[in-house]
Amino acid sequence: MEIETILPELVLAAAATVSLFLSSRKALWLGVGGLTAAIVLVTLSWGEEISGGFLIRDNFSWFFNLIFLGSALLVLLASRLDLILREREYPALIIFSTIGMTLLSSSNDLVSIMLSLELTSIPLYVMAGLGRDKKSAEASLKYALLGILASAVLIFGMVFVFGFTGETALPKIAQAVSKAEVNPGLIAGLFLMIGGFGFKIAALPFHMWAPDVYEGAPTEVTTFLSTASKAAGLAVLVRILSAFEAPVWLDWGMVLAILSALGMTIGNLVAIHQTNIKRMLAYSGIAHTGYILIGVASLGMDGAALSNTIFYIVAFALSDMASFLSVIAISSNIGSDDIADYAGIARHSPLVALVISLGLISLAGIPLTAGFLAKLYIFTGALDSGLSWLVIVAIINTVISAYYYFKVIKVMWFDEPLKVNRVTVSFLLGLALLVSSAGILVMGIAPSLIMNALGQISLPF
């Protein structure tokens, strides 16, 4: 194994370790520097394919690395200064978790998948509690206990896959699976693993933690959870499922399609009733996991499904990023996460209201935004692979979801303000808001820019 296989991770690990010994502000800037350096390194490596034992760095992993590093950078820039000043370890925790994600999307072996998944999750358990109040402690406890339970289930599934294929390396597992006869142990193993990853990406019915953790955790951490952490779980799920593509007796596509239909429907229906914006976005995230799983379910049948799925993941990450970052800006000024308290925000602070509205209409899937094209691609792909019933469910859900997204927009733009509250936005948060909303518009108007890159991504087996 060459050193350049893990060069971005080495840079990040060095930055995170050194930042533990520095003052808060210096730690923040070192973290930003380390993440930027890693982004440059990953971008330069685009197109290279390095394979070494536990890890494989191909275009798939480089692209997902950019998503994780970009989200970590935006979250770090957008974090409230009082959180950073109070918690010196916060930048280091974000970076350690990001290292776990970049390794996770590059893992080529069950052992490295398990280790990097834990490296991703353990800092997140701690970060959920950094709000230092009762709600935040509760979020941290729920996330940690359920997360550890999910990883125990995942590990038990991995053990069965190892036992019945005799291998831990994914390419060899793929070979063994393609030769295997009908095998209940292998099926049980795969479904236990899907359960474990389903927890990570907050797919129904493994989603129970998401609303509570999203609400209780500091909004910065929520943003990171809903963008980077979800993308990481999806990346490793796609990679593992591609190893199980061969056998006809193992129809995981149908199982994922059912999970997807459940997630979309229940996520959207419950989101309607939410009064807390972070909770509403949590349920909307559960529904969007459902939409993404449509793409994952058609992976085996449709050649374009991989790039459609990744396009959706990027579009969702950008839209959720714009929405949650605006929530940071608004909530830290008005001191409340209740949608009712957002009344008339646009009257005094039209720019922030514009950004959050852009994020929400992109989540709803209105034309000229990234979310519209993402839905269009994934729905047409699913039609081609014969999942037309799922597309009908998804379209009905899109209509339902528009209701609660537009309710928030209506409250902000047309309701009478409760009190005069100008939202002040720090320079760095403003920069992060600008980047994410520009991303939504660019992807919505010129999708070929990103689709060309996605066309160069393929999975090895």
Partner 1 sequence: MLGHYLILSAILFSIGLFGALSRRNGVVILMSIELMLNAANLALVSFSKYLVSQPVSGQAFVLFILVVAAAEVTVALAIVMEIYRSHQTIDVTNVDLMKW
- Residue 180 as a binder of partner 1 (CB under 8 A): the answer is no
For tokens 């052992």, the residue is 111
Give 266 or 328: the residue with its C-beta nearer to partner 1.
266
Site membership for partner 1, residue 176 (CB under 8 A): no
Residue 300 has, within 13 A of its CA and on its CB side, a CA count of: 18
Q: How far apart are CA 40 and CA 324, in angstroms?
A: 26
Phi and psi angles of residue 134, each rounded to the nearest 5 degrees, phi first? -65, -45
Cβ neighbours, 10 Å, residue 401: 25
Residue 160 engages partner 1 in binding (rule: CB under 8 A): yes
Rounded alpha-carbon distances, angstroms, from residue 392 to 316, 350, 389: 20, 36, 5
By CB under 8 A, name the one of 22, 29, 80, 138 that touches partner 1. 138
Query: How far apart are alpha carbons 326 and 321 in whole angstroms?
Result: 8
Q: Is 13 in the site for partner 1 (CB under 8 A)?
A: no
Asked if 166 is part of the footprint of partner 1 (rule: CB under 8 A), the reply reads: yes
- Residue from 27, 114, 313, 343 binding partner 1 (CB under 8 A): 114
Q: Does 135 bind partner 1 (CB under 8 A)?
A: yes
Q: Which of 1, 20, 40, 159 binds partner 1 (CB under 8 A)?
A: 159
**Is 91 one of the binding residues for partner 1 (CB under 8 A)?**
no
Q: Burial, 442: exposed, middle or buried (Cβ in 10 Å; 0-12, 13-18, 19+)?
A: middle
- Residue 338, helix vs strand vs coil: strand
Helix (H), strand (E) at residue 51: strand 50-52
Q: Which residues pair with 338 in a beta bridge?
A: 276
Q: What is the C-alpha to C-alpha distance for residues 14 and 258, in angstroms, rounded to an integer?
A: 43
Does residue 437 interact with partner 1 by CB under 8 A? Answer: no
Question: Tokens 């998401």 appear where?
Answer: 210
Choice between 198 and 253, CB closer to partner 1: 198
Q: Tell me which stretch binds partner 1 (CB under 8 A): 79-87, 121-129, 235-243, 261-269.
A: 121-129
Query: Residue 1 interacts with partner 1 (CB under 8 A)?
Result: no
396 binds partner 1 (CB under 8 A): no
For the CB of residue 115, give the shortest distance to partner 1 in the complex, in Å.
Answer: 6
Taking the CB of residue 413, how many other CB atoms lie within 10 A of it? Answer: 16
Stated as kind and residue range, the H or E segment containing 55 is: strand 55-57
Q: What is the identity of the amino acid at 67?
A: I
Instruction: By CB under 8 A, name the one of 168, 307, 331, 362 that touches partner 1.
Output: 168
- Tokens 């019915």 found at: 205
In the complex, what is the shortest distance from the CB of residue 113 to partner 1, in angstroms, rounded to a whole number? 11
Size of the site for partner 1 (CB under 8 A): 42
Q: Does 144 bind partner 1 (CB under 8 A)?
A: yes
Interface mask toward partner 1 for 198-237; x: CB under 8 A:
-------------xx--xx---------------------
Helix (H, G, I), strand (E, B) or coil at 383: helix
Interface mask toward partner 1 for 258-287; x: CB under 8 A: ------------x--------x--------
Binding site for partner 1 (CB under 8 A): 110-111, 114-115, 118, 122, 125-126, 129, 133-135, 137-142, 144-145, 148-149, 151-153, 155-156, 158-160, 162-164, 166-168, 211-212, 215-216, 270, 279
